[in-house]
Amino acid sequence: MSVSELSQPYVALVGSPNSGKTSLFNALTGGRQRVGNYPGVTVERKEGSIERPGGHRLKILDLPGTYTLDANTLDEAVTRDVLLTRKIEGAPPDLLVAVADATNLERSLSLVLELKDLGFPMVLVLNMMDLARNRGLEIDLEVLARELGIPVFPVVAVKKEGLDPLLEEMLRRVGERPRPLVQAFPESAWTLPRHGAEEVRARFREIDRILKLANAAHLKPARWTDRIDRAVLHPLWGSLLLVAILTFVFQSIFNWASYPMDLIERGIGLISEGLRALLPQGWLQNLLVDGVLAGVGSVVVFLPQILMIFFFILLLEDSGYMARAAFLMDRQMGRVGLHGRAFIPLLSSFACAIPGIMAARTIENPRDRLTTILISPLMACSARLPVYTLLISAFIPNRVVWGPFRLQGLVMLGLYALGLVTGLIVAWVFKKAVFRGPTPTFLLELPTYKWPSLRNVLIGMWERARLFLRRAGTVILAVSVVIWFLSSYPKPPADADPGRPAITYSLAGRIGHAIEPAIRPIGFDWSIGIGLLTGMAAREVIVGTLATVYSVEDGGAAVGEDALGRILQRRWSLATGLSLLVYFVFAMQCFSTLAVVRRETNSWKWPAVLFLYLTGLAYLASFLTYRLALYLGA
C-alpha cells in the first residue's frame, strides 16, 4: 500500500454480523470494491469507493462483523485493531458508520455504545427499517439520536432507501476536518475500554433506558421467522429438510456445473488449437500449449463448480438458513470435536478443497478452524472423479450386486465414504492429541429470515471467483511451467527408439524411474511415479500423463479414455489398480491446496503437516490394499 493511500481519509463501517453491513457496503459502493487480506492475517479486507456527482470521492472500509470490541475471533480482533491502533491501516478512520439492525436494537445497540466510548466522529445507521415498521416499531429517531448523542440515519440497504442523506453526511464529516487533526486524538481514547461483566450489564441497562424513551422497546414477534423455524428447526422435519437441501446442492454441483465445465474445456481446446496453428512448432508453442494452457486450464475448469458452491453458500447465508444448519449439525460435528459450522467447509470440499478451506474462516476457534482445514482435502473433490472413473472402469467389473446397485457405483460410493469417515476420525485424533484444550463455546445468533438479495449474492460470487483465480491461478501457472519443463526436457536422443514415448527420456521420466523403488512396495511402477509428479498440478492431470506415457493417440477424450482403461487393464495388475484408487482417496496431490493452506494459516508449517500426514496415510493405506489384494490372489 502506498503512502498516499494511507493518508487518504476514510470511513469505516462497523456492525454486528447480521446487521446488513455488507448489504450497506454493496449498496454504497456498487461494484467498486477491492477485496484482499489484512497484512499478516487471513481476514478479508474490503475496501470500496463512493463517487458522487461533482467529483467527490470517498474511501470506505468494511470492517469485519463483530458483537463487541472485546474480540473473540480473528475477524473481531482486526476490527478492534483498526480502530484502536495504527498498525493495520496506518491511521484511524475519519468517521465511524455504525450499522445496526433496526429489528434487533435490544442487542445491537450494545456495540454502538461501546464504539461511542472510543470518541470517534460517528453516525448510526439503522438498517432494515422496513422490516422494523412491519413489526410495529415506530422509533422516535430524534429521541434516539439525542440520547445516543450521534446522528441517526434510517435506511433499507437492500432497497437502497435512505442512502442520500447518509452519503451527504459522510462527505461533509470527512471533508470538514483536515487529516492531521484526527491523529491528535487524546491518547486515552486509544486504550481498550474496560470490558468486565459489569460494564456489559451497565450497557444493557442503558439500552433499555434509551429504547423506552425512543418508543422502540416493543417489537412484535417475527411471525414468519417463527413459523418457518417450527418446520426448519423441527427435530425430524428440520433434519430431513437439511438432508434434502444438501442433496440438492450436491446434485446441482455435479450435474449442472458439467455444462459450463465442458464449455471451458472446449474453449481451452480451441485456444490451444489456435496457438498451435499460429505459433511455429517448437519450445514456445509447447510451453504455451502443453505447459501454461493445459495446467491453468486443468484448474480453471473447476471455476463453475466453485462459483456454484459459493452461490448456494451465499444464498443460504443471506437468507438466514446457514446458522440453522450449523445448529442442526452441531451435535453430529461435536462428536468428533468439531463446531457446527465446520460442516459447510467440509461440504464445499467435496467439490474442491480450496473454497472449503477458504470457507473455514467462519469458524472462530483457531484450533477448530485448523482441524477443519486439515481434514478438508480428505473429502473427495471433483478432481478425483476423472481418476476414479478411469480406474474403476478399468479394474472393477460392472456387475449387478443387488437390484439397481452395480459394483462400479458402489465402489465409487465407497471411495467417497472412505474419505469422509477417515476425515472425521482424523479430526477426532487431531482434537484429542494435537489441539487439546477446552471445548470452544457454540454461541450463535439465529437471525430472522430474509429474502436473499441477488445483488449481494452475485457480488459475493464475483469476489470468490477473483480470489480463487488469483490464488490457485498464479500458483498453478508456476507449477504447470515447472512440470511442463520436467516432462519435456531433455528431449529424446536422435537415435531414440521411435516406439518409446518422449516423456520417458525427460526429467520427469527419470524421476519416475528414480522413485520406483520407493513406490514398488505399494504396487506402483515408474509410469505412476511420473503421474504422481505431474498430478501435483491437479489430480486429474495424472490421466493425461498416463495417456502420454502409454502413447494413447489423442482422438477425442472419450475414445482416448476408454482406450487408456483397456491399456491399463493389460499392463497393471488388479492389485495395482486398487492400490492407486486408495492412494488417491488420501494423497495430498494438489499444489493449489497447499498454497491456499499456506495463505490461510500464514505459515508453511501447516501445509507441510498436511502434505506429510496425508502422504503417509496414503502410502500406508495403499500398502495394505496392495498386499491384501495380492494375498487374495488379485
Does position 239 interact with other proteins (CB under 8 A)? The reply is yes
Does position 328 interact with other proteins (CB under 8 A)? The reply is yes
Which of the residues 197 through 226 are near other proteins (CB under 8 A)? Answer: 197, 200-201, 204, 219, 225
Beta pairing, strands 152-154 & 122-127: parallel
Report in angstroms how near the CB of residue 391 gets to other proteins at its nearest. 37
Report in angstroms how near the CB of residue 203 gets to other proteins at its nearest. 9
Query: Quick one: which of 37, 49, 68, 252 contacts other proteins (CB under 8 A)?
Result: 68
Q: State the SS3 of 279-292.
A: CCCCHHHHHHHHHH
Tell me how far CA of residue 75 lies from CA of 100, 437, 462, 506, in angstroms.
18, 21, 21, 48
* C-beta closer to other proteins: residue 64 or 340: 340
- Contacts of 268 by beta carbon, 8 Å cutoff, 6+ apart: 293, 294, 297, 300, 301
Report in angstroms how near the CB of residue 453 gets to other proteins at its nearest. 21
Q: Which among 177-185, 256-264, 319-327, 516-524 is the span making contact with other proteins, rule CB under 8 A?
A: 319-327
* C-beta closer to other proteins: residue 103 or 527: 103
Query: Quick one: which of 56, 107, 599, 627 contacts other proteins (CB under 8 A)?
Result: 107
Separation CA 616–CA 588 (nearest Å): 10
Separation CA 80–CA 12 (nearest Å): 12
Does position 246 interact with other proteins (CB under 8 A)? The reply is no
Query: Quick one: which of 10, 153, 327, 505 contacts other proteins (CB under 8 A)?
Result: 327
Residues 340-379 as x/- pattern, contact with other proteins by CB under 8 A: x---------------------------------------
Report in angstroms how near the CB of residue 246 gets to other proteins at its nearest. 15
Query: Quick one: which of 81, 330, 540, 600 contacts other proteins (CB under 8 A)?
Result: 330
Report in angstroms how near the CB of residue 320 gets to other proteins at its nearest. 10
* C-beta closer to other proteins: residue 423 or 447: 447
Q: Which among 163-171, 328-336, 502-510, 600-608 is the span making contact with other proteins, rule CB under 8 A?
A: 328-336
- Contacts of 335 by beta carbon, 8 Å cutoff, 6+ apart: 428
Which of the residues 4 through 23 are near other proteins (CB under 8 A)? Answer: none
H or E segment and range at residue 319: helix 303-319
Separation CA 358–CA 363 (nearest Å): 11
Which of the residues 466 through 505 are near other proteins (CB under 8 A)? Answer: none
Q: Which among 192-200, 531-539, 605-613, 614-622 is the span making contact with other proteins, rule CB under 8 A?
A: 192-200
Query: Quick one: which of 32, 177, 195, 227 contacts other proteins (CB under 8 A)?
Result: 195
- Contacts of 53 by beta carbon, 8 Å cutoff, 6+ apart: none
* C-beta closer to other proteins: residue 229 or 562: 229
The three cell numbers locating residue 375: 481434514
Q: CB count, 10 Å around CB of 283? A: 13
Does position 321 interact with other proteins (CB under 8 A)? The reply is no
Does position 332 interact with other proteins (CB under 8 A)? The reply is yes
User: How many angstroms from the chain centroid is the CA of residue 34?
Assistant: 17
- Contacts of 66 by beta carbon, 8 Å cutoff, 6+ apart: 14, 16, 17, 73, 75, 76, 79, 80, 111
Among candidates 475, 458, 250, 464, which has minimal Cα distance to 348?
Answer: 250
Q: Outline where 350-404 has alpha helix (H).
A: 353-359, 366-375, 384-395
Report in angstroms how near the CB of residue 340 gets to other proteins at its nearest. 8
- Contacts of 57 by beta carbon, 8 Å cutoff, 6+ apart: 49, 50, 51
CB 358 within 8 A of CB 386: no
Residues 406-445 as x/- pattern, contact with other proteins by CB under 8 A: --------------------------------xx-xxxxx
Give the binding-site size for other proteins (rule: CB under 8 A): 40
Query: Quick one: which of 410, 446, 469, 481 contacts other proteins (CB under 8 A)?
Result: 446
Separation CA 278–CA 460 (nearest Å): 38
Report in angstroms how near the CB of residue 100 gets to other proteins at its nearest. 13
Beta pairing, strands 152-154 & 95-101: unpaired
- Contacts of 23 by beta carbon, 8 Å cutoff, 6+ apart: 127, 157, 158, 453, 456
CB 376 within 8 A of CB 360: yes
* C-beta closer to other proteins: residue 343 or 586: 343
Does position 450 interact with other proteins (CB under 8 A)? The reply is no
* C-beta closer to other proteins: residue 202 or 284: 202
Q: Which among 54-62, 98-106, 470-478, 520-528 is the span making contact with other proteins, rule CB under 8 A?
A: 98-106
* C-beta closer to other proteins: residue 143 or 228: 228
Separation CA 380–CA 346 (nearest Å): 10
Query: Quick one: which of 130, 147, 169, 229 contacts other proteins (CB under 8 A)?
Result: 229
Half-sphere exposure of 584 (CA within 13 A, CB side): 35
* C-beta closer to other proteins: residue 363 or 461: 363
Residues that bind other proteins (CB under 8 A): 67-68, 70, 72, 103-104, 106-107, 110, 195, 197, 200-201, 204, 219, 225, 229, 233, 235-236, 238-239, 323, 326-328, 330-332, 334, 340, 438-439, 441-447
